[in-house]
Structure 1
Amino acid sequence: MRLLVLGGTAFLGRHVVDAALARGHEVATFTRGRSGTSPPPTLDLRGDRDDPPSLAAALDGAGWRPEVVVDTSCQSRAAAEQAAWTLGGGGGVRAYAFTSSLNACAAWPPGPVTRDDAPGWTTDDDAYGPTKAAAERTLTAAVDGPVLLARAGLITGPYDPLGRLGWWLRRLARGGPVVVPTGLDQPVALVDARDLADWLVRGVEEGWSGPVNATAPVGSTTLGSLLLLCAEVVGRRVGDDVAFVPVPDEELLAAGVEAWTQLPLWVPAETARTLWDVATDRAQETGLVRRSVRETVTDTWAWLSGPDRPSPADQATPGLPEDLEGRLLADRVGGVR
């Protein structure tokens, strides 16, 4: 089939391209061209998702029309409306997979999300969750064929530009005392971008429709188990050349540590109790998660250690600043790094 990837050169999109090519599809990507080009034989189309005529112009200029679409880059109401106007109605699209977010659910965060079709936001503001929910409605109404709404949670793996998992790997590789939250037993659910990409392609092949909570089942790992695995993968031994230094939530918050961003994957216990409680029945039935957490962590570290690794400055999530970590450690281990 002729498969159009909206996005396709940065993170999830590049894995969708790989999955689609591996499954024998004729692939085109539509991007701004800021993250490189798609590999041959992909048709590389350029334009701006927020510029209404640009997608139609790119497709018309190439004389190419998609049969199915995987949308990984819709971040605005204008982008959804452009896709709906160009690909909906009589556009001939047989199936559409949209990478939405659990944030589209009005109850998340903090959750729980007890079913796949949990109600979405209906507000008109441009916050991330309401924007994703609006895009779900716009695309579902416009496209003639089935529309799969992949409400993704924590997406990880090679080429992740946000670097949440990557920050922990780099920090543990440095060794020494490391600030961690006391709630290391909190559950964490993640999905490898390569698994999600293959699943999205299978979704448009088979004509799946409706919302699906696209993440791993609750209890698949914990924050503590994930950090121990990260230490092992980077060749550090906890208790020997790296030491976890637990800091209570209230002290982290009092010191100004930003949950989820400055201490990646951590949220205060009150939120963590429900944040990861997400029903994943359809995701499990359709075989979303294929790789183990170990494989995801190992492959992410291999990418971060390889020739095309990003610099920390290129990633949006800074992690815990060294001076702030030093202050948190000072009363516990004398500020030794």
Structure 2
Amino acid sequence: MTLNRVSLFYKVTLASVRKFAGLMILLNHVFSEIITVSLIGAAVATSGLFGWNSIKSQTYCRFKECCDEKYIHFDLDKLGQSFSQRMYGQPLVNEITNILKAHKEGLYDKEKKNKKALVLSLHGWSGVGKNYAANMIAEAIFQKGIESQYVKVFMGKKDFDCTNIQETRNKLIAEVNEIVKSCPTSLIVFDEIHEMCPSILDAIKPMLDHHHAVDGVDYRNSIFIFISNIGGKEIAMNLLELYGQGIKRNEVDFHNFEPIIRRISYSSGGFEKSSTIAQHLIDHYIPFLPLEQQHVEMCALAEFRNHGIYHPTEEMMADALSVITYGPTEEQPIFANNGCKRFTKQVPYVIQKHKNNL
């Protein structure tokens, strides 16, 4: 046998072995699945639905997220700690914990069953913590936080522009229906409502209202969060007026802001002439107050700590804060116009700039 023939023989043999090995692996996987399904089927036949739920939690749900207490914690003590330790200058945001506690009672107490989905609307300038708060809520409720399959985040203009409105509305209904059908305690977030096409939001109006079920799906234990910059300027101006009346920041209440937010929202963005406002389906309007210098300094320090810098120098702090401008006017430089958002990139840059002095 020539050298070329020997080489060809070994190549063909090696390819055959690889194909055989691949086939054996595939068959092994198939047989394993058949055995697993057979065992589960036999157990279900023996013990019924209750037994299936128990078996599922011990098998499938050990490896895959399920809609049960293992993956859905509703740890509102954790949420309260997150707000107090990681949220700056937002006294009314702490009340979200109590709002969710009331909603949680409706999940487990038959005497206090929820009569509708919980709907929160977060308003304020960019960079004041609205998305941060939504992420904290997701982290407190779901083991996987915002990455949970039972959390859905829609983005204003990206998901809801003004082309093919009816098609978009139908798609929205189908997506929300599917996620809540898979888990009644799902969290649905609509971000950047100010960039959303008007009228689309009304597609989910029945899901937010006082209905036992919509198309066979019960939404009463689900949570909807709307996030927008709408009303940010009005919140800031109203806060200045309250300061002028001698009311301190930590003394403000929801009623100081809700009428203003509702009025502005009803003529803006995705909320324009929306039945979610007109029919009072939003349960709580949460004003995020504009941040003052002390609050943005706390944000900057927190960002430095995230990068392992626990004692930044005065020069580093000055560089970090150099991107912050104050308003609402030059004559009243009280509130940070862009909140804390710019620190995400500014602080790493400052650390690199001063690296040799650390």
TM-score range, shorter chain: 0.3 to 0.5
User: Normalising by the residue count of structure 1, what TM-score does the alignment of the two structures yield?
Assistant: 0.37
Higher strand residue share: 1
Which entry has the higher C-alpha Rg, 1 or 2? 2
User: Normalising by the residue count of structure 2, what TM-score does the alignment of the two structures yield?
Assistant: 0.35
Higher helix residue share: 2
